[in-house]
Amino acid sequence: MFLDIVFNLSIDKTFTYTVPDSLRDKVAVGKRVTAPFGKKRQMVGYIVGISGQHKGNYRLKDIIACVDEQVVITLELMQLAQWVSTYYISSLGETLGCAVPYKPQMQTKNVKIVSLKEQPKVVQSAIGEQPSINDQLIEGLPREGLKLSKAQAKVMQVLAAAGDMPLSELIAQTGVSQSPINTLINKDILNISFKQEYRSPYKHHTISKSSPPIPTLHQTKSSSEISASIKAEEFGVFLLHGVTGSGKTEVYLQAIEQALSIDKTSLVLIPEISLTQQTVERFVSRFGQRVAVLHSRLSDGERYDEWQRVLKKEAEIVVGARSAVFAPLDRLGLIIVDEEHESSYKQFDSNPRYHARDVAVMRAKHNNATIILGSATPSLESFYNAQTGKYHYLSLPARIDERPMPQVEIIDMKEEKEMFSSRLQQAIAQRIENNQQTIIFLNRRGFAPFIQCRGCGLIMKCPDCEITLTYHLTDKRLKCHYCDYHQPAPQSCPDCHGEDIRYSGIGTQKVTEEIHRLFPEARIARMDVDTTSAKGSHEHILNRVRAGELDILVGTQMIAKGHDFPNVTLVGVVSSDIGLNMPDFRSCEKTFSLLTQVAGRAGRGQIHGEVIIQTNSPQHYSIQAAIDHNYLGFYNQEIEFRQQLQYPPFTHLMNILIRSKNQDQSCQISSMITNQLRMNNPNSAIIILGPAVCSLSKIKEYYRWHILLKSSKLHQMRKLAIKSIHELSLPNSVDIIMDMDPADML
């Protein structure tokens, strides 16, 4: 018996191993094993094939152990992983490593359960009103020679009344030590057994059951089309375009109900930062224990157990973030990708650099499943697919209960002197007076993102990243936002020793401070990466808003998504320009969608909402379209620009990133690769742009260059890149990363 095994390494190669007799009936395709690797190492690998014969005549090694009792990668997932590896140019081992997000040493947690050997009746003797424990007789026990101590009697009494219970709970309820319990076990009166306990993310939380509201006409129309597709068990993609607060989630819930009714499972993807308790509760309150939740904030044990519940078919609905697209659901009938335009669905920092939305579409196709892509601001790609008829278009054009869309007002900051325009100040003051809440949004954290010596003009930058350092007020340090470099704020310039140092630009900390100054009586909190690093802090802040304990919440993207706060009636955007000037072909799309999302936080309750956007480019089309809630207007303008410049959705892009600690090397190698690409592309079938220094020219000590490929011929483009890089024998000291459909190219 020979095993084909892949490892989580960047080399795309299958290794063959033999199996010792003792493990023959344990191994199966889709399980993990430990195997010797190289001279001394031992590694975990994935069995991807089993065969009876082997061609090579070299000596093979035995695997050491089989890690999994059960298959963790089903056949369906194996095929999906293969597709991902090919499309995103990663090794199969890397993809499988990403698909099974728990360590091989994870185990189930077992608890000791104490039970009575026989079920006796506890009879209270009728002496007095309140019998002491010693007065209680326990029927049905072996009486001869048995005298129960006070503690033992208490244990028996509790068990007889409550039935089997975990040992720890029994000790807690009776207040006895473990010794009387042990004695009873030894006397064969009590029994002890083991039961698997799931580490549930919701243990301390009982979520009450909700029933569906009466759907609106638009919801009904969408639901019935989706439901027909689910029942037909045919592949179909629906773009559900619904403004914020239009009730998209209710459409999702109906679709899941439909899938369950024909015994099919459902997968719901939600961007990590929107995957809050409140979001999850909407699914759990409808479907209870049938829901499993998978995201990166779970503990290892919780993630493992949720995964196990899915594998064992105890959970038929998975609600999760990006990598949950690989959840081992069987009989998949429905996939939902909420906020499908979100760039966080793209894994950008390690292989496979996959886009979970696109993988989800492929997975739906493999399974003849229905997939719903939901958004208030669909990605240009998805909307284009809906326009060309590749996707079915469904729309929820109005908010629930005919709540009006918030009124959006633009303040031209070229006319204003202060951080907060007088209009925005007035509006905030009015909210505080009326006991309503305000959200203040700024897309940049820290205090001042730009520190410069006024004497010599030196700008403080991270020594490892060439990125300007941001001043953080709370610990009076300068921090790099791309690596963990930080240093105390300098008293004087490191170059000229001048003491006139200017802190300019604004971040969320400075905004918060300014609000404190303007509104000393207001209750203010800030939510960004810096204030939410502790587990649960994110939820804690959101709960305070919901409970009305805060007047003003200041924050970054984190506050823009998915939250439903009925008492928030004002949203202020301090500066909407930061994103627009990014060197990224999607910068306008990102700005439009972010402004629309942030604006969508206002007026979700009974009271009308208002949005004030401060900007230096009031005429910009992405800002103008956001004022009018005019998606189509934005789309028409943007799609024209994409077509002219041959950007997606008209082409596919591949970003080839070259990283090295040596500046010259990064530059030389990118030229070498470009030349090779050009040579292999004589008819210029593929557009090759570059090489160029990346906008982020150095991150964590690595100098960065990139080459951009553009083409509608996906296969040919991929082949060109792989072949060209393969032909050059490049040194190990340089990293070459091929990023297919990149989400950003900074």
Nearer Cβ to ligand ADP, position 215 or 455?
215
462 contact choice in Zn ion, ligand ADP, none (CB below 5 to 8 Å, kind-dependent): Zn ion
Query: Cβ closer to Zn ion: 258 or 470?
Result: 470
Q: Which of 513, 564, 577, 584 binds ligand ADP (CB under 6 A)?
A: 564
CA distance 109 to 304: 10
Q: Considering only residues 177 through 206, tell me which ones interact with Zn ion, judged by CB under 5 A.
A: none
Residues belonging to the chain: 746
Q: Which does 49 bind (CB under 5 to 8 A by kind): ligand ADP, Zn ion, none?
A: none
Q: Which does 464 bind (CB under 5 to 8 A by kind): Zn ion, ligand ADP, none?
A: Zn ion
**At its nearest, how many Å lie between ligand ADP and the CB of residue 252?**
8
Q: Which stretch binds Zn ion (CB under 5 A): 57-65, 220-228, 475-483, 573-581?
A: 475-483
According to DSSP, the residues that pair with 313 across neighbouring strands are none
State the minimum distance, in angstroms, from the CB of residue 229 to Zn ion.
48
Q: How far is the CB of 257 from ligand ADP (least distance, A)?
A: 14
Closer of 249 and 556 to ligand ADP (Cβ): 249
Find which of Zn ion, ligand ADP, none residue 564 binds, CB within 5 to 8 Å per kind: ligand ADP
Mark residues 314-353: x for contact with ligand ADP by CB under 6 A, - for none: ----------------------------------------
CB of 636 to ligand ADP, least distance (A): 23
Positive or negative, the Cα torsion across 451, 455, 457, 463? negative
Q: Which does 247 bind (CB under 5 to 8 A by kind): ligand ADP, Zn ion, none?
A: ligand ADP
Helix (H, G, I), strand (E, B) or coil at 503: strand
Burial 84-123 (b: 16+ CB within 10 A, else e): bbebbbbbbbbbbbbbbbeeeeeeeeeeebbebeeebebe
In whole angstroms, what is the distance from residue 430 CA to residue 426 CA?
Answer: 6
Is residue 531 a contact residue for ligand ADP (CB under 6 A)? no
Among 167, 207, 400, 522, binds ligand ADP (CB under 6 A): 400
CB of 552 vs ligand ADP, minimal distance in Å:
23
Nearer to ligand ADP, 219 or 666 (CB): 219
Q: Could you tell me how many residues of this chain bind Zn ion (CB under 5 A)?
A: 7
In contact, 396 and 219? CB cutoff 8 Å: yes
Q: In whole angstroms, how close is the CB of 480 to Zn ion at the nearest point?
A: 3
Give least dist CB 532 to Zn ion, A.
21
> What's the order of all strands across the beta sheet hosting 2-7?
15-18, 2-7, 41-51, 32-37, 65-66
Candidate list 190, 462, 478, 738; residue touching Zn ion; CB under 5 A: 462
**Rounded distance between C-alpha atoms, residue 141 and residue 215, angstroms:** 59
249 binds, among ligand ADP, Zn ion, none (CB under 5 to 8 A by kind): ligand ADP
Assess 460 for contact with Zn ion (CB under 5 A): no
Q: Which is nearer to Zn ion, 357 or 479 (CB)?
A: 479
Residues in region 478-537 near Zn ion by CB under 5 A: 480, 482-483, 485
Buried b (16+ CB within 10 A) or exposed e, 561-600: bbbbbebbbbbbbbbbbbbbeeebbbbbbbbbbbbbbbbb
Spatial contact of 396 and 212, defined as CB atoms under 8 Å apart: no
Q: CB under 5 to 8 A by kind: which of ligand ADP, Zn ion, none does 480 bind?
A: Zn ion
Touching ligand ADP, residues 203-222 (CB under 6 A): 213-216, 219
Cβ proximity to Zn ion: between 570 and 699 the closer is: 699
Beta pairing class for 702-711 and 652-660:
antiparallel
219 touches which of Zn ion, ligand ADP, none (CB within 5 to 8 A by kind)? ligand ADP
Looking at the DSSP bridge assignments, the partners of residue 200 are none
Phi/psi class of residue 320: alpha, beta or left (left: φ > 0; alpha: ψ in -120 to 50)? beta
Q: What is the C-alpha to C-alpha distance for residues 38 and 29, in angstroms, rounded to an integer?
A: 23
Interatomic CA distance for residues 460 and 446, integer angstroms: 15
Distances (CA, A) of 315 to 156, 188, 309, 311, 318: 36, 37, 6, 8, 7
Task: Find the shortest distance in angstroms from Cβ 562 to ligand ADP.
Answer: 7
Q: How far apart are CA 52 and CA 144, in angstroms?
A: 65
Cβ atoms of 648 and 380 closer than 8 Å: yes
465 binds Zn ion (CB under 5 A): yes
Site for Zn ion in 627-656 (CB under 5 A): none
Q: Does 406 bind ligand ADP (CB under 6 A)?
A: no
CB of 440 to ligand ADP, least distance (A): 21
For residue 212, the minimal CB distance to ligand ADP (Å) is: 8
- Given the complex with Zn ion, which of 233 and 464 has the nearer CB atom? 464
Q: Which is nearer to ligand ADP, 377 or 651 (CB)?
A: 377
Residue 281 interacting with ligand ADP (CB under 6 A): no
465 interface partner picked from Zn ion, ligand ADP, none, CB below 5 to 8 A per type: Zn ion
How many angstroms separate the CA atoms of 636 and 502, rounded? 43
Which residues neighbour 212 within 8 Å (Cβ) at sequence distance 6 or greater?
250, 253, 254, 257, 286
Residue 629 carries which side chain, given as an amino acid letter? Answer: H
CA distances from 388 to 57, 383, 727 (A): 55, 9, 39
CA distance 667 to 704: 8
SS (H, E, C) 402-440: HCCCCEEEEEEHHHCCCCCCHHHHHHHHHHHHCCCEEEE
Minimum CB distance to ligand ADP smaller for 191 or for 278: 278
Residue 216 binds which entry of Zn ion, ligand ADP, none, CB below 5-8 Å type-dependent: ligand ADP
Report the chain's C-alpha Rg in angstroms: 30
* Cα dihedral: 82, 84, 90, 93 (round 10): -50
Cβ pair 328, 307 in contact under 8 A: yes
378 binds ligand ADP (CB under 6 A): no
Residue 708 near ligand ADP by CB under 6 A: no
Interacting partner of 246 out of Zn ion, ligand ADP, none (Cβ under 5 to 8 A depending on kind): ligand ADP
Give me the 237-276 binding string for ligand ADP, x by CB under 6 A, dash otherwise: -----x-xxxxxxx--------------------------
Q: Where are the beta strands (DSSP E) in 442-500?
A: 450-453, 470-472, 477-479, 486-488
Which of residues 247 and 648 has its CB atom nearest to ligand ADP in the complex? 247
Judged by CB, which is closer to ligand ADP: 339, or 589?
A: 339
Place of tokens 């080399």: 11
Q: Which does 483 bind (CB under 5 to 8 A by kind): ligand ADP, Zn ion, none?
A: Zn ion
Q: Which is nearer to ligand ADP, 218 or 355 (CB)?
A: 218
- C-alpha to C-alpha distance for 382 and 398, rounded to whole angstroms: 21
Residues 49-78 that bind ligand ADP (CB under 6 A): none
Please report, as ranges, the residues that interact with ligand ADP according to CB under 6 A. Answer: 213-216, 219, 242, 244-250, 400, 564
Please report, as ranges, the residues that interact with Zn ion according to CB under 5 A. Answer: 462, 464-465, 480, 482-483, 485
